[in-house]
Structure 1
Amino acid sequence: MGQPVIIQIENIYYPILAIVGVPANLMTIVILSRGSYGLSKCITRYLVAMAAADLLVLIFEVILYEIKDAYFPYSFLNYTPICSLNLALLFASVDCSVWLTVAFTFDRFVAVCCQRLQTKYCTEKTAAVVIVMVCSLSILESVPIYFVYEPREIIDNVPWSCYVKSGFYTLPMWVAFLWLETILTPFVPFMLIVLLNALTIRHIILANRLRRGLLGNKNSENHDDPEMENRKKSIILLLAISGSFILLWIVTFISYICVQFTDTQFLEANYNSSFTIMELSGYMLRSLSCCTNTFIYAVSQSKFRDELKNMIKRPLALITCLFK
C-alpha cells in the first residue's frame, strides 16, 4: 500500500522549501547586515533577527525533522534524546520567529503612532535588548518540550524516534503547559499583530488626511510629498510581513484551537482524518512563512532588490569565467 497523499506531498514540498529557503535567508542576512539599502539600524536589527530565526526554523523543522524523517528515518538523529532535543529547539526557533514578528510590528506601531515614545524606544540599542529577551524567553519556554516525548520503539536497547507521552493530554501539569503554549504561540501573537496593524493603519490614514488638509486639498494631489511616500513604503513593508504571517499561520491557529476544544490530538496517525490533513497542511504553510520575507523585501524595496541581483550575478559571473 502506498503512502498517504499528504505524506507524498510533504516528501516533495519540504526538500524544495529547504533548497529555496535556506539560501534566501542567508542572502537576506548578508544584505541586511551591510546596512546599505536605506532602512534605519533599528529596523535592520529586527529584520536580520527575523531572518536568522526563520533560518533556524528551516534547519530544525524542515531539514532535521521533516526531511530527516522522510529520507533518513534510522540516522543517529532519530535517537530519542537527540530527537527530543531537536524538537525542543524546533519549538524555540518557531516561538522566536513568531515573537520577533510581534516585536517588529510593535516597534513600527510605536514609530508611527507614539511620537513621544519613538525617540526612546525605536533605537538600535532597544531593538538589541528586545531581540535578546525574545530569544531567551523562547528558549526557556521550550525547555519542557524535551520532556514531553518518549521512545516510539526500542531496538537493541536503543530508544528510537519520539512519541508524545500518553499522559500529555491528561496530566494537569502537561494540560496546563499545552494551554500556556497555545496562548503564547500562536493565539496572543496572532491577536497582537492584527490589533497593532489595525491601529497603525488607522493612525496613518488619519495623519495623511490631516496632512492633505494642511497642504491644501487641491494642490496636495498634484505634488509629491516625501513624508507621505515614506509612510507609504513603511506601511507596505509592515503589512506585507504581518499579512503574510497571518495568512500562513491561520490554518495552524485553527488546528491549535481544535485541539483545545475538541477530542482531537496532535500528530495522530490517521491520515484519512480531515483534522490530520489540516494540521499537516498548516505546518507546511507555517514553514513557508520562513521563506516569504526575502521575497517581500525584494518586491517592496528597490535597493534590496538591487543588492540581491548583485549577489546572484557574482557567482554566475565567476562560473562563466571558469568555463570560458
Structure 2
Amino acid sequence: MREFGYDRAYDVAGAVALLGADPDARFLGGGTNLVDLMKSGVERPTRLVDVRELPLDTIEQDEDGGLRIGATVTNSELAAHPEIRRRYPALTQAVLAGASGQLRNMATVGGNLLQRPRCGYFTDVTKACNKRVPGSGCPAIEGEHHNHAVLGASAHCVAVHPSDMGVALAAFDAVVRFETADGPGRLPLGDFYLPVGDTPHRETALPPGALITGVTLPPAPVAAHSRYRKVRERASYAFAIGSVAAALDVRDGMVREARLALGAVASRPWRAHAAERVLTGAPADAATFAAAADAELAAARPLPGNGYKVTLLRNLVVAVLSELAEESAR
C-alpha cells in the first residue's frame, strides 16, 4: 500500500479545507470500500481526511416534514431508526440486505453513496478499465459480465452501481447535500450520478473537493407502504444481481401513486419512470404490473452473458408490486 498522511477533521469547513489543500487526498468515513481499494492499488490517496468525528451523525425531521440524514450516520443506525422503519420501510430493508452487521456498524450513509463498482476488471490493476485508466478499454464487454449492466451502459463501461441503500433512496426522491469551499449545495439523487457515456471515470456530479454532509428524504406518504427485494447468488451477504424498491398507493383497486427503482442493472440506482407512468391510474393487477415492467425494460440492452437479468427483473417487479397490492386490499 502506498504511504499516506492522515488527518482527523472536527468541523465541516476544516475537512473541506484539508482536502482542498491536497487534490490527491480522500475523505475517510467507515472505510469499508476505500480501504479495500487502497489495498488493491486502485485508490492511491496521498492523505486521508477522517470525517467520522464531524457533527453529521443525526437523523432529524426537516422543516417540511421530511427527514434529514447526516452523512456519518452508520448504516446500522439508519436501518434501526424508528422513523425510517415507520415512514420508509423499504430503506430499512435495503440497508439490512446490503451487508453484514459488522460492515453496517462501520459503513456510513455518505460513503455508501460513493461506493465504487465491484467489477473484477476495475478492482484488478493488471487489467484494462476505463474507470481506472480512461481510454484503456472495457474488457468486461467481451469477458466476464454476468452481473453487469443491462440499462444505461455504453461501449466504454458496463459496470453496475453496488449500493442497495441507493436504490431505495432513488425511489423516494432523496436529495444529497454537500459542502464545498464556496458554500453548500444540493443535488437530487437522480442528478447525483452521471450517465456513463464516454467518461465512465466521472461517476458523480459532485464538485471537486466536495464533502457530502447528508441526505434529505422529502415527505412521501406512499413510502410507508414500500418494500425492497434483493436477489443474490448466495444466501449470505452478497451484491445483488437484481433488486427492486417499490411503493404503492392503491385505492378501490386502482393505483393512485407508485414509486419504483431498480438495482444492479445500471451504473447508478435506476429510477423506473416509464414503469411508474404505466402504473399510475391503472388497475392494480398482474397485467398492469407486467406491462409496467415491460415498459421499463424495453430499453434494456443485455450482453450475451447477462440477458437473464431482464427476465429476473420483470418477474421481480411483478412479484413485489403484487405483494404490495394484496396488502393494500386487506
TM-score, normalized by length of structure 2? 0.27
Structure number with higher helix proportion: 1
Which one has more relative contact order, counting CA pairs under 8 Å at least 6 apart?
Answer: 1
Structure (1 or 2) with the larger CA radius of gyration: 1
TM-score, normalized by length of structure 1? 0.27
